[in-house]
Structure 1
Amino acid sequence: MDDCNFDDVDTKSVSNLTADDVANIDTSQIPFPNTLWHVKPAQEIALKTTAMLVIGVAGIFLNSIILIILIRNKWLWSASNCLIGNLALTDLMTLVICPWFMLVRDFYQNYVLKNFGCRFEGFLQASFLLSSVCAILLVSYDRMAAAALTAEARITIKAAPRLIIASWICSCALSLPWTIKRYYMERQWLDYLESFCVEDVAVLGIYWHFILMLLVWVPLGLMLITYGTIMWRLESSVRELSARGGGRSIARARSRALRITACVLLAGVACRVPYTALIYWRNNLEPLINAVEGSYEIMWFSANFLMYMNCAVNPLIYGFTNARFRKAMDRTPGIACFKFGMWCCICTMLNKKRVQIEDKNTEKVFVIGHSPKPEKKLSRAIKNILHIKKDCLDFSIKADEVTTKPTKVTPVKTEPV
């Protein structure tokens, strides 16, 4: 290829060359083989920008609401809510920074972000997305520990900040290859100066699959385990209490947990699996100059769009479904005017009224599980013997003294006729 006479090379034949072939020839003597368009049409730019603005503004607004509620309500400062706040902060930073890198890269034919964008675009995107995954996993584990494990297994208020900092450090460390193994390059053609960002395929080609596993398969698999454990624990509690005539409140909690689980898994599958398909598609592309045009370009934008949309959906799933958050919404200065709590609680209030009507028509029967035993104060008598006084001696044993031990009482609700 080095011995070719470039004056006789046809532009159409150059467009069929592979990327390796083009890298080994002097392109300064050959006209640019593709159509020069510089910037995409205004209609396409407006459509994509509008779509990104919708999820970007909505996600930034909703995540900001979660953070404002946590900052202004100290009674919400628990370990679980700190983890939810970390997720909201991660999604907020992702939506503020990352989508605009993607849009600029998509709109221009040349890579206009230069060396800085080439080095830090992939690093920032991977860091924020991995941090979001870590935050989701911490929230999922905390919910599983609260529902199915012991109190010692839960994340404490002291451990929560340490886990959050550790998750950020690990995410940034795992994203460093995108800073080290990506290069900004320029290529001079006869009539055009081309600029682009390339990756070290020998390293990042393999590393992409590892990051893809962390972004998609690991969170989906662990969410299945954690929420599956929660459902199993609630189901066993319902069966145990139903055998004794109770379990209505646990059954309602199970139904609510089932709805939240379905939302979490559906959002994860819908927003993350297309990105998996995109990476596998890219790895199977032929190394031709125009291989990424057409349907692949549409898939690239759609997969990235869905990943960012997940950041806008997370506050609805993890924050606005929390009853304590909803109560705090209408009491927090600055956001009380939006009446979020009232909007979010419409379905909850309707369900609550229906449950109250059922409870009014239900006769409540209390069954004493263990009868209280009389507490005999032998120790008091022995103490009085050892401390005899002249005029008084209390040698009484009060067998019918009121006990302070709690009595196990199980409420049983009979079904209305």
Structure 2
Amino acid sequence: MGDDHWLDLDTSKYPFPNTLWHIKPPKEIAIKVTVMLIVGIIGIILNSIILHILIKNRWLWSPSNYLIGNLALVDLITLLLCPWFMLVRDFYQQYVLKHFGCYFEGFLQASLLLTSVGAVMLVSYDRLAAAGLTPDARVTKSAAIKLIVITWIASMLLSLPWITHREYVERQWADYLETFCAEDPKVLGIYWHFTLFILVWIPLGLMVVTYGAIMWRLEWSAKKLSSKGAGMAVSKAKTSAMRIAACVLITAVICRIPYTVLIYWRNRLSNEVNSVEGSFDAMWFAANYLIYMNCAVNPLIYGFTNRRFRKAMDRTPGIAWCKFGSWCCVYPVYKRKRILEVDKNTEKVFVIEGTPRPNRKLAHVIKNILHINKETLDFSVKIDEVTTKPTKITPLKI
């Protein structure tokens, strides 16, 4: 940060006005690399699992899962490429990425982060359409693919100012060669706020509206059905949706609000030497780190909380041995086992449609018993599993 007249001044006659430190201490570098590796490796593994499951299981190829897979792909590419640009910029006093880094780094980060926001917005709308809108408002497979392509293209177009309005500069001082990436303050000064609006405020607002509408819809359905004595299923769905909504909103606030503080702090800095060091330098690293941590948390929120994904995790070759679906949600599994144990002690009566006439012969008696057991197993298939086998028995309501 500095005044424009420094670019036209013959600096070769003056000594370098800043304190030279070249590269940060090894201890600080080791700590920052370690914390970034933790988030990067975990996020890469989790997003890769989501993509691997979708590729290997064709029965998961639904419009909703297309959108979740797109989000996982964006987060995976972001964690593979972007953090290392950030670390290099943080470790060195001068800009060592040269011309390529100056033009490509900002464009790459902005494109991927905007695409990630677009992917989150598509997933949020799909969940709202599934919970509270008409079937015509649902996203189809063809529409999902088109929306994904449009999101990628629009994000790249919106990120073009990072190429057209940045310039790599080398400035020779009497005792030092300074290198930095200069920004056009007339354009990028406004564009920073535009980017902030898209990265933070739009997704947060959409999440509040989306999950608020889902909660209202489930609350209304629960009250309507409870009067008929059938609101238990909706109440359970409402509780689960509330937990997911809380995780989404808390994660978004923690990971994105610091970036807002960073931008406003940056615009209020004075044009003085060393004004971006100290507490601002720490805030810059923390805000960017939390943005990348959000990419590592997204697969847990949007993928691992899905029962279909958890079942597919334990059946997909290559990752089945890890049993991700079994241990990622310990409490729901334990709670489900408790419910099953209670159900074992409850006497159940079934009415079998088209039951054959009783026959006193032992062979026919055994056949009827086996027939009842078989149909009981068919009835135990859960609703969310794909099956075309007809069920011939219904429980007798008491």
- Which category of TM-score, normalised to the shorter sequence, fits these structures? 0.7 to 0.9
After superposition, where does 1:312-331 map in structure 2 within 5 Å? 312-331=296-315
Aligned pair partner of 2:13 in 3, 20, 29:
29
| Matched letter for residue 221 of structure 1 | G
Residue 292 (str. 1) matches residue 276 (str. 2): yes
- Whole-Å separation in 2 of the counterparts to 1:160 and 1:305: 30
- Whole-Å separation in 2 of the counterparts to 1:311 and 1:180: 27
Match of 1:254 in 2: 238
Preserved CA contact (<8 Å) 1:59 1:313: yes
Segments of 5+ residues of structure 1 without an aligned counterpart are 1-16, 366-408
Match of 2:201 in 1: 217
Residue 183 (str. 1) matches residue 183 (str. 2): no
Identity of aligned residues (%): 65
Residue 169 (str. 1) matches residue 162 (str. 2): no
Match of 2:107 in 1: 123
Preserved CA contact (<8 Å) 1:244 1:412: no
Match of 2:375 in 1: none
After superposition, where does 1:299-310 map in structure 2 within 5 Å? 299-310=283-294
Match of 1:50 in 2: 34
| Matched letter for residue 132 of structure 2 | A
How far apart are residue 245 of structure 1 and its match? 1.8
Aligned pair partner of 2:177 in 193, 197, 200:
193
Q: CA RMSD in A?
A: 2.1
- Whole-Å separation in 1 of the counterparts to 2:7 and 2:348: 82
| Matched letter for residue 260 of structure 2 | T
How far apart are residue 357 of structure 1 and its match? 5.4
- Whole-Å separation in 2 of the counterparts to 1:38 and 1:303: 23
- Whole-Å separation in 1 of the counterparts to 2:98 and 2:108: 15
How far apart are residue 241 of structure 1 and its match? 1.1
Q: 1:360 to 1:201 in 2, by over 3 A?
A: same
- Give TM-score scaled by structure 2 length: 0.85
Residue 110 (str. 1) matches residue 100 (str. 2): no
- Whole-Å separation in 2 of the counterparts to 1:177 and 1:184: 14
- Whole-Å separation in 1 of the counterparts to 2:347 and 2:212: 34
Aligned length: 355
| Matched letter for residue 79 of structure 2 | L
Aligned pair partner of 1:341 in 304, 322, 325:
325
- Whole-Å separation in 1 of the counterparts to 2:73 and 2:307: 20
| Matched letter for residue 231 of structure 2 | G
Match of 1:100 in 2: 84
- Whole-Å separation in 1 of the counterparts to 2:63 and 2:91: 43
Match of 2:379 in 1: none
| Cα shift readout 1:33-85 (whole Å, capped 9, x = no counterpart) | 12211111100110100011000011001000000000001110000001000
- Whole-Å separation in 2 of the counterparts to 1:185 and 1:349: 58
- Give TM-score scaled by structure 1 length: 0.82
- Whole-Å separation in 1 of the counterparts to 2:2 and 2:74: 40
Match of 1:269 in 2: 253
- Whole-Å separation in 2 of the counterparts to 1:67 and 1:128: 17
- Whole-Å separation in 2 of the counterparts to 1:253 and 1:359: 20
How far apart are residue 26 of structure 1 and its match? 1.6
How far apart are residue 352 of structure 1 and its match? 1.5
Q: 1:412 to 1:263 in 2, by over 3 A?
A: farther
| Cα shift readout 1:86-142 (whole Å, capped 9, x = no counterpart) | 000000000001000000011111100001100011111010000000101111111
Match of 1:40 in 2: 24
Preserved CA contact (<8 Å) 1:246 1:412: no
| Matched letter for residue 272 of structure 1 | R
Q: Which moved more, 1:26-35 or 1:95-104?
A: 26-35
| Matched letter for residue 340 of structure 1 | F
Match of 1:77 in 2: 61
How far apart are residue 287 of structure 1 and its match? 1.1
| Cα shift readout 1:160-202 (whole Å, capped 9, x = no counterpart) | 1111000000000000000100110011000100000011000
How far apart are residue 289 of structure 1 and its match? 2.1
Segments of 5+ residues of structure 2 without an aligned counterpart are 350-393
- Whole-Å separation in 1 of the counterparts to 2:177 and 2:152: 39
- Whole-Å separation in 2 of the counterparts to 1:225 and 1:133: 16
Q: 1:312 to 1:18 in 2, by over 3 A?
A: closer
Aligned pair partner of 2:129 in 117, 131, 145:
145
- Whole-Å separation in 1 of the counterparts to 2:42 and 2:176: 40
- Whole-Å separation in 1 of the counterparts to 2:250 and 2:226: 30
Match of 1:353 in 2: 337
Aligned pair partner of 1:332 in 295, 299, 316:
316
Residue 160 (str. 1) matches residue 160 (str. 2): no
Q: What secondary structure, in the 3-state scheme, does the structure 1 residue paired with 2:141 have?
A: coil
Q: 1:137 to 1:295 in 2, by over 3 A?
A: same
Preserved CA contact (<8 Å) 2:67 2:119: yes
Q: What secondary structure, in the 3-state scheme, does the structure 1 residue paired with 2:68 have?
A: helix
- Whole-Å separation in 1 of the counterparts to 2:121 and 2:397: 37
| Matched letter for residue 24 of structure 2 | K
Preserved CA contact (<8 Å) 2:348 2:395: no
- Whole-Å separation in 2 of the counterparts to 1:18 and 1:131: 32
How far apart are residue 411 of structure 1 and its match? 9.9
Preserved CA contact (<8 Å) 1:59 1:312: yes
